Amino acid sequence: MTGPDGAPDPGSAPPPARYRLQCVVHRESASGIIIHDEQIFGRSEVTAIADAKARFAHLLAGRSGSAALRDAAGRVVWSTQQNAAPGAFKPL
């Protein structure tokens, strides 16, 4: 849609797309893993992937794990696996 001056109406922009970030983070505990499943909203696949990468890095905090980002149709649009850096985790 356009406004009265012919410029695009900023209120007509499509809402951000919904993506699902699923992560498994390995940890030193009885259960051994933490499972995260959360939504990420992005105006484009590129921005959703960038947000997913940042969130996954935050969740890892030096541990190993894997992640997948799925679009609304369930297709994997990004995935990764990371091993912990040597000496990153030292039990007390």
Q: What is the pLDDT of residue 32?
A: 80
In the chain, how many domains are there? Answer: 1
Collect contacts of 31-38 with beta carbons under 8 A, ≥24 apart. Answer: 34/59
- Adjacent-strand bridge partners of 42: 17
Within-domain flag for 33: yes
| Residue 53: domain span | 21-66
Q: What is the pLDDT of residue 90?
A: 47
Q: What is the mean pLDDT of residues 30-34?
A: 77
Q: What is the pLDDT of residue 62?
A: 84
Within-domain flag for 26: yes
DSSP for 12-51 reads GSPPPEEEEEEEEEE-SSSS-EEEEEEEEEESSHHHHHHH
Q: What is the pLDDT of residue 92?
A: 40
Within-domain flag for 44: yes
Within-domain flag for 72: no
Q: What is the mean pLDDT of residues 13-24?
A: 91
Within-domain flag for 34: yes
Within-domain flag for 78: no
